[in-house]
Amino acid sequence: MDRQTSSAPLDESTRRFLSRGQYGLLIDGRMGPGKSNKSFDTLNPSTGEVLARLAEGDETDIDRAVRAARAAFEGAWSGWTPYERQALLYRAHDIIERNFDELAEIESLDMGAPISRTRSSKGALLKMILFFASQSGNISGQTLQNGLPGEVVTMSMKAPVGVIGGIIPWNGPLVGQWWLLGAVLASGCTAVLKPAEDASLSVLRTVELLHEAGLPEGVLNVVTGTGSVAGAALARHPDVDRIAFTGSTATGRKIIEASAVNIKKLQLELGGKSPDIVFADADLSKAVPGAAMGVFANSGQICFAGTRVFVERSIADEFSARVADFARGIRIGRSMDPDAQLGPLISRLQLDRVMSYIDIGSREGARLVCGGERMGGALSDGYFIAPTVFSHVDNEMRIAREEIFGPVLSVIPFDTVDEAIALGNQTDYGLGGAVWTRDISRALKVVQKIHTGVMWVNCYGLIDPLVGFGGTKHSGYGAKGGVAHLDNYLYSKSVYINT
C-alpha cells in the first residue's frame, strides 16, 4: 500500500516550543534537569525521527516532586476558596483556548494522531475544563440524623485527599490529562504527573501554560521518565495519597500491588475488549462507519475501542464487505497531513505487537478481509498499519480475547440476542460496548445485560464529562466524569458535635 502524504506548515509558537529541543522536569514551578542528568529521545511516530529530548526522572526526582506537592498542599493553596479555584480553572480554559493550535500540533507530532482529529478535540477539552470549574463549588457533605442520647449534632464533611500521583498514557494526553488536572484543581489537591515516555510534550506544555494562568508553584509537577523507574517510584511513594492511572491492565496490577505500601486510593482505567453488537435491522449506513470508527479511530489506540463486532449472521458477510470497503477508503497519513484521517501507531514496539496479533489471527483461522500490512512508500519510515478487518472470528481466538490496541476489527457472527449478550460478556474486560438496532426494547435489553461501564446505542464513543464513563471487571474502577468523579479526590469525615 502506498498513499502519499503532505504536511502543513507549523504554527510559529509550535516551532518556538520545539526549537528548545531539550525539556526538563517541571517541579515547583521551575523546569530543570533531573538529579542524574540523564535524558532520552522521544520520536515522531509518523517519521521515526527524534522530536525532542526529555529528562529521565528517577526515584530521587519523584521524591522531590512529591515533597513540592505536599508543601503546596499544606501551604497557601489549602486556603484558596472554591471561587478562587473556579476562577483559576476559567483562566486555564482561556489560556488553553488561546494556545490550542500550538498544543494540538505538539500533540499530533508527538503521538501521531492526525492534526484534523486533534484539532477537533478542542470543544471536548474546553468542555472538560468548564465541567471541573463547575464542580469546584459543588463539594458538600450532609447533616445527618442520629439516635444518640443527649443533644448531639452529626454531619459529614468532605476534604481533599492530598497528593495525587497521576500516571498518564500516550494515546491522547492533551485531552485525557484533564480528567486528572481538572479534578486536582477543583478539589484542592496537588499532584505529581508522570506522562508516558512516548508522549510527554503536551503535558509539559499544558502545565507551563497553567503557571502562566496563575497556578501556584508546586500544585502540579511533571516528572518525565520511564514507567518502570519514575512511574513505579510514584506508585510506591509513601507520601502519595492516591493514584489516578490510565493504561494497560498489566501495569494496573503492578500499581495495585504498589499501592499496598500506604493503602493508596486508586482510580484505574485499564484495558478493554469491548463488544459492538449489530443486529440485522440496524441502519447499516450508520452502523458500518460507526462500528468501523469505533475501532479505527486513533488507529485503534483507545481503551474502549469496540474491537469485537458481533454481527447477526444473516448480514455478517455483507457487513464484513462493507466495513472493509470503508476501511480501504480511509486516508492514512502523517500526523501533520491536513487530509489524514488516521495516523501511525505510537511506536515501533506497538507496531510489532499489532503485526504479531494480525499474524496470530490468520494462524488461528480468522479470514483477513482487508489490511493486515504495514503502509509502504512515503509512510514506510513511520509506524503505520492499514486498517484491518478479520471476518469469521471466533470469540475464543486470541484476537478476540486479548487487547490489541491497534486498528484491527474482528467480525464475529451470532444468531440470537441471548447469544450476542453471552458472547459479549465472555471476556475479562468490562469497559465499553454498543448495540445497533431500530428495536429500542432489544437495545435496552442488551444495555442492561452487558457488563460494562459504558454502553452506546446507535453510536459509538460519545463522551460528555457531565455523564462520564468508567470500567468494571478487569477494566478498572473509579468512574471518570459525573458528580462521582470529584468524590474520588475527596475523603469523607463523620463529625459528632456534643452541643
Catalytic residues: 269
Q: Site mask, ligand ADP, residues 65-104, x = CB under 6 A?
A: ----------------------------------------
Under a CB-based contact definition with an 8 Å cutoff, are residues 251 and 229 in contact?
no
| Smallest separation, CB 335 to ligand ADP (Å) | 19
Alpha helices in 214-340 (DSSP H): 232-236, 249-259, 284-296, 313-328
C-alpha cell at 391: 471476518
Closest to ligand ADP by CB, 337 or 403: 403
Paired with 419 in beta bridges are none
Closest to ligand ADP by CB, 202 or 391: 202
Paired with 25 in beta bridges are 32
Instruction: Indicate the residue whose CB is closest to ligand ADP.
Output: 227
| Smallest separation, CB 230 to ligand ADP (Å) | 7
Closest to ligand ADP by CB, 237 or 473: 237
- Per the listing, cell 447469544 goes with 419
Contacts with ligand ADP: how many residues (CB under 6 A)?
Answer: 16
118's CB contacts (< 8 A; 6+ apart) are 104, 105, 107, 108, 174, 335
C-alpha cell at 85: 479555584
Considering only residues 152-181, where is the footprint of ligand ADP by CB under 6 A?
167-169
Under a CB-based contact definition with an 8 Å cutoff, are residues 14 and 105 in contact?
yes
| Smallest separation, CB 215 to ligand ADP (Å) | 22
Task: Please count the other Cβ atoms lying within 10 Å of the Cβ belonging to residue 374.
Answer: 18
| Smallest separation, CB 142 to ligand ADP (Å) | 36
231 interacts with ligand ADP by CB under 6 A? yes
Let me know the angle formed at the C-alpha of 495 by 493 and 499, rounded to the nearest 5 degrees: 170
Interacting residue with ligand ADP among 164, 175, 196, 443 (CB under 6 A): 196
Closest to ligand ADP by CB, 91 or 194: 194
Considering only residues 250-269, where is the footprint of ligand ADP by CB under 6 A?
251, 254-255
Interacting residue with ligand ADP among 64, 194, 205, 474 (CB under 6 A): 194
Closest to ligand ADP by CB, 88 or 168: 168
> How many residues can be counted in the chain?
499
Under a CB-based contact definition with an 8 Å cutoff, are residues 60 and 237 in contact?
no
Give me the phi and psi of 454, to 5 degrees please: -150, 140
Q: Which spans of this chain sit near ligand ADP (rule: CB under 6 A)? A: 167-169, 194, 196-197, 227-228, 231-232, 235, 247-248, 251, 254-255
